[in-house]
Amino acid sequence: MSEVINIFKSLGADETIFQQFVIFFIVFAILKPLLFDKILEVLKLREDKTVNLQDLSGQKFTKAENMAKEYSTKISDAQNNIFEEIKTKKIKITQTENDKIHKFRNDLEKSMDEKRQEFKVLLDNKRKDVLSESEGLSDELVEKLV
């Protein structure tokens, strides 16, 4: 122990080193809850607000990516549904218009047939008139010639 004391004396320490050591521990014990714990609490809070927020932002980014994928899927499904609905309506409208065209064509053909029949009857009547007049004219011509 005397060697230790000699080493302390050569460093400039005297016999009060032990009392200073005890005072240091008492001051440390008093200051620890007042200062050091508060500093540790502030450092932990700072770490929570920085490092732990990175984890939280990673989770939110993942959630945002999932929501974007879900949104894209819903948009794609909605587009497909709309295209199918448009296709169905287009087919229905095309069929309706084709039916109208077919009906109009049939009505037009019927009307043409009726007009053709009327014209044929008129033509037959005119032919009969001309033929009946032709007999009279031929008789007149024969009389004039004779």
* Torsion angle, alpha carbons of 14, 19, 20, 26, to 10: 170
> Phi and psi dihedrals of 129, rounded to 5?
-60, -45
* CA–CA separation, 84 and 123 (whole Å): 57
pLDDT tens-digit profile of 27-49? 999 988 888 888 999 988 888 77
Question: Is residue 93 a contact partner of residue 85, using CB atoms and an 8 Å limit?
Answer: no
- Confidence category of residue 69, pLDDT binned at 50, 70, 90: very high
pLDDT tens-digit profile of 71-110? 999 999 999 999 999 999 999 999 999 999 999 999 999 9
User: DSSP state, 146?
Assistant: -
Predicted local distance difference test score (pLDDT) of residue 55: 77
- Reduced to 3 states (helix: H, G, I; strand: E, B; else coil), residue 16 is coil
Predicted local distance difference test score (pLDDT) of residue 1: 67
Predicted local distance difference test score (pLDDT) of residue 91: 96
* CA–CA separation, 98 and 61 (whole Å): 54
Helices and strands, number each (H, E), in the chain: 3, 0
